[in-house]
Amino acid sequence: MAETMIACPDGSFGAYLATPKALAPGKAAPGILVIQEIFGVNKVMRDLCDGYAAQGYVALCPDIFWRQEPGIQLTDKTEAEWKRGFELYQGFNEAKGVQDLISSLDHLRKQPACSGKAGSVGYCLGGKLAYLMATRSNADCNVSYYGGGIENLLNEASAITKPLLMHIAAEDKYQPKDEQEKIKAALGRNSGVTIHVYAGCDHAFARVGGQAWNAAAAKQANDRTAQFFKKHLA
């Protein structure tokens, strides 16, 4: 596992790269672009990349907060870290962030171990950005975990042409049920979009050890994600 630098039109930024350990000589693996939460490319994100690499993917998690504070790594354990995370979220330039992710996807596809086929998966803020990767990029497939704010971007839904899997927390404190219904109504008409709602779960239910972690729901969501990537990337 290693750090790598990604070039974009207005600079360069770091990313965490994890590759499968058991690739046969001359073989390549599909790629997964892992999109961070509001806490940066922290241990949770690096562990996710390592987990995807163990499943046989080249996983790349770029630092999308680099314009504000390169290399930020927070946890969800203290009020001060939550405050800083929300500050970074509020100062985040979404349009430039998506362009950074598109540059990251291109960088991922060019990795020697990558076959060129690649999708994305995002959590929290990253879940919203994974939706935007479905509408604005040529990623082969995309997975969104509890992405907040998608209800305000449904005017882009018609641009989705590749498979999209969405995990929604029924009791998400950042996404009221009426907003969830808007998402389901707008995207349910697209046969390429699959939406799962997890009863009794709050935002970030799949963050291992997090405040809202739900082991059973997380396993179900992660198993569905694994099958989705296996179907559309492997």
pTM: 0.97
Residues in CB range of 38: below 8 A, 6 or more apart: 74, 85, 86, 88, 89, 124, 125
CB atoms within 10 A of CB 90: 8
Q: Are 105 and 33 in contact (CB under 8 A)?
A: yes
Residues in CB range of 99: below 8 A, 6 or more apart: 8, 9
DSSP 163-219: -EEEEEETT-TTS-HHHHHHHHHHHTT-TTEEEEEETTPPTTTTSTTSTT--HHHHH
**pLDDT tops 90 at residue 211:** no
Q: Are 163 and 144 in contact (CB under 8 A)?
A: no
Q: What band does 37 get if pLDDT is binned at 50, 70 and 90?
A: very high
* Positions marked catalytic: 172, 203
Angle (CA) 183-188-189 rounded to 5° is 125
Taking Cα atoms as reference points, which of 85, 104, 106 lies closest to residue 96? 104
Write out pLDDT tens, residues 95-134: 999 999 999 999 999 999 999 999 999 999 999 999 999 9
Domain at 2-232, CATH from 3.20.20.190, 3.30.310.10, 3.40.50.300, 3.40.50.1820? 3.40.50.1820
DSSP 95: H
DSSP 72-90: -B--SSSHHHHHHHHHHHH
